[in-house]
């Protein structure tokens, strides 16, 4: 039986990521199913969030094997769900992965550092930041997307001036910060905790794609993550690519169809 491919988008992010790189790439991944990380998953014990997500996946995909694809913070979600799904998961592909912050001194080199620092500061500062983010996403999403890409590195510079990419990024901002803000907050709060011990439970095969110019999830983070996973996967380092351009490369290539 062919595995069902489950895509875990970034945060902020949405299914719009799959359509960010033009119609040819979108057609290449039309078989992808987006893992729904909805606000309903935040009801209950916060530590049970990924257990509830795994239960939702099992309910929606009761029989077939699963191929997990995680981008950015979606990679963290895929890694934390995979042990709960066990042998159902035949392969995990991580693209520009956000590994545990505790694996090294990465935070200063991450473009999303202000968000992570707010989450580390506590519930109130983080709630205030996400409230302000939501207001900007509501009023001027395209401008917010452009500002996020203003300091783009490597091949992401071309995406920063691509109107189609900016429109899709704006849609993702609105999805995470407005439609699914509780889930966005919950996952980031769980991400900044020390979850590195959970990596030892990931026994499924893992592959990693990483851009050499990534300033959102640094190359050193991908290397540290690979070293801590039981399978110790090789990191496919992509010269000149950055965060989103690495995703575009992965989605465009043939192995994304597996």
pLDDT tens track, the chain, 258 positions: 889 999 999 999 999 999 999 999 999 999 999 999 999 999 999 999 999 999 999 999 999 999 999 999 999 999 999 999 999 999 999 999 999 999 999 999 899 999 999 999 999 999 999 999 999 999 999 999 999 999 999 999 999 999 999 999 999 999 999 999 999 999 999 999 999 999 999 999 999 999 999 999 999 999 999 999 999 999 999 999 999 999 999 999 855 555
Kindly state the tokens that stand for 74.
Answer: 């979606």
**pTM exceeds 0.95 for this model:** yes
48 vs 11, 37, 102, 175, CA distance in Å? 19, 13, 21, 23
CATH architecture of the domain with residue range 4-257:
3-Layer(aba) Sandwich (3.40)
80 vs 111, 212, 231, 247, 249, CA distance in Å? 23, 25, 15, 20, 24
Q: Which residues pair with 7 in a beta bridge?
A: 34, 69
Axis-axis angle for helices 181-191, 123-139 (nearest 10): 140
Of 113, 110, 116, 115, the C-alpha closest to 219 is 110
The residue assigned the tokens 């920063």 is 160
């Amino acid at each position: 039986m062919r595995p069902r491919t489950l895509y875990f988008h970034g945060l902020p992010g949405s299914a719009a990521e799959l359509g960010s790189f033009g119609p040819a790439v979108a057609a290449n991944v039309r078989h992808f199913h987006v893992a729904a990380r909805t606000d309903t998953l935040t009801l209950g014990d916060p530590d049970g969030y990924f257990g509830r997500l795994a239960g939702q996946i099992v309910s929606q995909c009761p029989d077939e094997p699963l191929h997990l694809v995680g981008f950015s913070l979606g990679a963290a979600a895929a890694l934390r769900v995979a042990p709960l799904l066990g042998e159902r998961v035949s392969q995990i592909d991580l693209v520009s992965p956000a590994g545990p912050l505790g694996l090294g001194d990465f935070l200063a080199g991450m473009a999303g550092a202000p968000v992570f620092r707010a989450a580390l500061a506590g519930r109130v500062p983080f709630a205030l930041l996400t409230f302000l983010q939501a207001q900007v996403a509501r009023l001027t999403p395209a401008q917010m997307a452009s500002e996020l890409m203003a300091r783009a590195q490597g091949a992401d510079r071309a995406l920063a001036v691509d109107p189609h990419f900016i429109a899709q990024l704006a849609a993702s901002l609105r999805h995470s910060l407005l439609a699914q803000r509780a889930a966005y907050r919950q996952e980031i709060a769980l991400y900044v905790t020390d979850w590195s011990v959970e990596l030892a439970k990931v026994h499924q095969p893992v592959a990693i794609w990483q851009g050499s110019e990534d300033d959102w999830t640094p190359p050193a983070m991908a290397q540290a993550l690979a070293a801590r996973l039981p399978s110790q996967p090789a990191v496919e380092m992509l010269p000149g690519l950055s965060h989103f351009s690495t995703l575009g490369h992965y989605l465009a290539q043939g192995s994304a169809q597996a």
